[in-house]
Structure 1
Amino acid sequence: MKVVVIGGTGLIGSKVVAGLGEHGHEVVAAAPSTGVNTLTGEGLAEVLKGASVVVDVSNSPSFEDQAVMDFFRASTTNLLKAETEAGVTHHVALSVVGTERLQGSGYFRAKQVQEDLIKASGNPYSIVHATQFFEFAKGLADGVTQGDTVHLPDARIQPIVSDDVAAAVVRTAVGDPVGGVVEVAGPEAFQLEEFIRMGLTAQDDPRKIVTDPQATYWGAELGENTLLPGPDAHIAGTRFADWLTRQK
């Protein structure tokens, strides 16, 4: 089976490409660096010839509100149209647990548009919702740092390592289209403050961390459980503390 991975050279994409290859599938990593640009449509028709499955794990190069909206709207529209013309039978997209609850954020509004386009396309599809990645603890802290203090909302989070996200995407890609959303999360829920503190401490980052009722998550207000998966989520096995230990 031929599988085209859009964003196949990135953090998740490269792991998905490797995982599908281990399953014996013909896998193509598609990205601007390989001559495929979903934003312009360049190279799409050629790379999708003979493909049965398309996995989209691409992301916008800019997180500015209008830029990210333009990216997901244009790239998803171009990709779905090209898939229909090529006879692709399964579209798999990676998105985020809680997207529909995070619409105060321009990024998550754009991800919601992406999901809505997929659902309305008529193409057989599966959407994988993952929680925040272990690897992004520092980046999340950087986005809410003022001076030497990290300001975090009072909320819970159930993060997951990127390897386990990629494994979930691979499982979904080799299965039948679900016509809906499947969720994947790590094995432990933390207060957001605890998650960030553990991540920064492991990197000897001295920033102070505070819970701030005015703080947002990429621009969106959070309730206590906004970032948590539902009861039917697939729970991966890698614990955050164990992963941190392996990074040293």
Structure 2
Amino acid sequence: MINVFIGYDPREAVAFSVLSHSIHAQATQPVSITPLMLSQLKGIYKRERHPLQSTDFSFSRFLTPYLSNYSGWSLFLDCDMLVLHDIAKLWAMRDSRYAVMVVKHTHIPREEIKFLDAPQTKYEKKNWSSVMLFNNEKCKALTTDYVNSASGLELHQFKWLEDDSLIGEIPHCWNHLVGYDEPDPDASLVHYTIGGPYFNEFKNCEHSDAWNRALDTMLQVEQRSAPSNNGKVVNSLRMQRCSVGY
């Protein structure tokens, strides 16, 4: 079983749904997807929201090893993504020498503000934590107490590891930064880090056509599989898309 945890923010609910669908649609192995919803982490996640925190899952992502009982491997993904290839190919890259595996971006944001008027922050290892393959047993430093109290830089710069030699590298195509990286029509996972096609101002961004195809396919499947509810699920998702300015 491929265990996937996806950051969840109610303002990007449609992004979460499309990402989840894109994973299942491409996968050749069974996949279990868990949304990291703060409403389901009461008593576990106790941090107050930080002024620089752009999403609900900015820090809760680091609870993934704890929620996996520090056993086996787990994959964390931001919700503002789309998977275009078989997630089993990424899963097969697990290497027991490492505690965590990431795409090692050299990412220096140009803008000061990103989607939903959230402040953009600049720091070393920016976006490394947006796709993380966790070797959970080697991530026991990520206790609930530590995740609730450590600074953002300590978490996102992997200060909870003994040293950077425990950070493995996965190919760049598995975290392609739309709007920063050179266009890549063959990307395996695209990351709408500035803002996705579900926001009106980014509706024509790179890979927006792929995201819209995934949305349309998902809605068609929902319509066919749940006729008894008179399309309520489909209409709800369409309303979510409209509510964020599509």
Which band: TM-score by shorter chain?
A: 0.3 to 0.5
The alignment's TM-score, normalised by the length of structure 1, stands at: 0.35
Larger fraction in strand: 1
TM-score by length of 2: 0.35
